[in-house]
């Protein structure tokens, strides 16, 4: 862990990414304490300019809602959707990729045709259709994003399993009579976790963008404030009140950029080629 931390800390961008994500997480966790009132409630006069009232530092929207409160509560939605949908998609991708890569043959052909089917459909379009069918809610959004995000993980895991299943330690496990499930979970899968972790970290950023796009299109959870909804609601006020869409847009930009920087840092720290090069 010490060597991993050292390699990660060498990437200054990754350190900045960690700092931004930690800040966003703190804001999301403390949203209720910082802004006790419901972010949907009107609390002041409409279209209050930013930095003119200390009580509402980022101003208000056309209905008098506090923009700062919306950003804080919206951080909860973005992080929740990003992390949970990525976990679900990663589990699906690992399961399908592991079965395809280990067993090969017809199992591989069937599962890869299924993966290719999902990859032929545009991600956002499929997510829109799924959310519209199952009614917009945080559960349907998480499920839709997970269902359209797992194919890259499945192909990555399949490739890793294909290269590892013929290694000596796997063949030794087969010879001593270990069950396939135990070989998969105790021998092969641990050796594929580094690229999976990197891919999953980058998928979180994509999930946040997808959720924002769905909310912008009016397919977000109406009971939860989100950054995408704030941008969508403010699109008719761009000339009169530019800050209403600018603030949540910056929040999305910084969060997605930070998650991508973390992914690059993890790639530098976990990549075996970079690790061996550093040892030289």
pTM of full prediction above 0.95: no
Kindly indicate the confidence band of residue 9, based on its pLDDT and cuts at 50, 70 and 90. confident
Helix/strand/coil for 243: helix
CATH superfamily of 2-279: MetI-like (1.10.3720.10)
| 115 pLDDT tier (thresholds 50, 70, 90) | very high
- Cα-Cα-Cα-Cα dihedral of 161, 164, 168, 171, to 10°? 10
Residue 235: what pLDDT?
87
- Say which residues have a Cβ less than 8 Å from residue 144's Cβ, sequence separation at least 6: 126, 127, 130, 131, 134, 214
The tens digit of pLDDT for each residue in 92-105 reads 999 999 999 999 89
**Distance between terminal CA atoms of the chain?**
19
Burial of 234 (C-beta count, 10 Å sphere; 0-12/13-18/19+): buried
Tell whether the model's pLDDT for residue 273 goes beyond 70: no
User: With 70 as the cut, is the pLDDT of residue 128 above it?
Assistant: yes
| pLDDT tens, residue by residue, 183-241 | 998 889 988 988 999 999 999 999 999 999 999 999 999 889 999 999 999 988 888 88
The residue whose two tokens read 């399993």 is 161
What average pLDDT does this structure show over 237-263?
92
Report the percent of the chain where pLDDT is more than 70: 96
Task: Name residues whose C-beta falls within 8 Å of residue 214's C-beta, 6 or more positions apart in sequence.
Answer: 127, 128, 131, 136, 141, 144, 220, 228
pLDDT given for residue 11 in this prediction: 87
Question: Domain residue spans in the chain?
Answer: 2-279
**pLDDT value at residue 278:** 44
């Amino acid at each position: 862990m010490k060597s991993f931390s050292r390699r990660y800390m060498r990437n200054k961008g990754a350190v900045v990414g960690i700092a931004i994500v930690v800040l966003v997480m703190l804001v999301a966790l403390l949203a209720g304490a910082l802004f006790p009132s419901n972010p949907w409630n009107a609390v002041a006069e409409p279209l209050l300019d930013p930095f003119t009232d200390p009580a509402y530092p980022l101003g208000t929207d056309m209905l008098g809602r506090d923009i700062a409160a919306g950003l804080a509560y919206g951080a909860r939605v973005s992080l929740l959707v990003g992390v949970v949908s990525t976990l679900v998609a990663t589990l699906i991708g690992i399961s399908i990729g592991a079965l395809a890569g280990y067993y090969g043959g017809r199992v591989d052909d069937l599962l890869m045709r299924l993966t290719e089917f999902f990859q032929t459909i545009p991600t956002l379009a499929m997510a829109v259709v799924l959310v519209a069918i199952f009614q917009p809610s945080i559960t349907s959004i998480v499920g839709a994003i997970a269902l359209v995000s797992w194919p890259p993980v499945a192909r990555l895991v399949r490739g890793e399993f294909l290269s590892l299943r013929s290694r000596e330690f796997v063949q030794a496990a087969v010879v001593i009579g270990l069950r396939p499930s135990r070989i998969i979970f105790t021998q092969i899968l641990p050796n594929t976790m580094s690229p999976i972790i990197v891919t999953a970290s980058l998928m979180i950023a994509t999930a946040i963008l997808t959720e924002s796009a769905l909310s912008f299109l009016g397919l977000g959870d109406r009971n939860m404030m989100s950054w995408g909804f704030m941008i969508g609601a403010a699109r008719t006020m761009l000339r009169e009140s530019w800050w209403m869409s600018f603030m949540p847009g910056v929040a999305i930009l910084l969060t997605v950029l930070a998650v991508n920087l973390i992914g690059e840092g993890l790639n530098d720290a976990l990549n075996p080629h970079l690790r061996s090069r550093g040892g030289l």
